[in-house]
Amino acid sequence: MRYPLSAHALRALAWLAGLPGPRLRRAIAARLAARECRRRGRMVRVIDCNLRLTGMDAAMTRPALVHTQLTLLESLRFWTRPRAGNLREIVEVVGLPHLDTAERAGPVVIVAPHYGNWELLVQWLAARRTLTLIYTRAKFAAVDAFLKLARERGGVSAVPADVHGMKPLLRALQRGETLGITPDQTPDAAGGQWSSFFGVPCLTMTLIHRLGVRHPEARVLLAAAERLADGRFRIVIEPLPATVTSGPVEAGVDALNSAVEAFVRRDPAQYQWTYKRFKGERLGEAPVNPYWPECY
């Protein structure tokens, strides 16, 4: 695939921004987070709102913001450096037998919450075998093209989460490959089901359940690249309950959110609390948006 010049220009800028090593990245992230907290920027207001909605400790705002800044700085490096060097930042893999068994059996669906650094997880998975990644399009065409350029390296196929994305996903499963899906993207009303997440109603994708129904032979696992205190990473892999992909869709979505919530509670500050997770639409009703007007 040919990418526009703007995508290559953004990649060059990302390469420069990815120069800092782990120690300097942590210092920069802490500095950026402190500045954002002082000015009560939009990210701080969204985090505060999410913590308030979920009953989490308000003191977690700054640590969560530091992790958000770290994820960006790390990703700029991971997107623009050779994969072999990036993977050396992974020092431990927990639950690998689950993935080994699943890959030997056939197609695999990896459910990867926005926790830790999911871009590093993508590269680790793609180093094992062909990976199809479903993602949300960026608002700007140049940024979207850059993200595809950055991700579609070494066996990764990036598919947008829209009406055209289902066929490539099904074909990948038919070929016995691996899919990567972030379960906390907010779908439109037709593609989602309302369910509880941290005790708050949220619109949750039904895609994972639908894929499991169409391809019951696919194994579904939850995975993340968890950030360690020294800035390196641990890959964590866990099985998901069978109800996530079988039985009534309502039970599947509830089981999915419960599993993701339990995982996030390992270290809640590593979750992407800057995302407006609890807004959405109910068919025939006014949109739900607890972030208005505080977070705009």
- Give the list of residues 6+ apart from residue 194 with CB closer than 8 angstroms, or none: 201, 202, 203, 204, 280, 282
| Confidence (pTM) | 0.95
Whole-number pLDDT of residue 84:
95
Which residue has better confidence, 62 or 168? 62
Whole-number pLDDT of residue 1:
67
183 pLDDT above the threshold of 90 = yes
CA distance 67 to 114: 11
Interval 131-139 mean pLDDT: 87
Interval 16-45 mean pLDDT: 96
> What pLDDT digit, counting tens, does each position of 195-222 carry?
999 999 999 999 999 999 999 999 999 9
- Give the list of residues 6+ apart from residue 6 with CB closer than 8 angstroms, or none: 142, 145, 146
Whole-number pLDDT of residue 152:
86
CA distance 124 to 216: 25
- List domains and CATH numbers for the chain: 5-270 (3.40.1130)
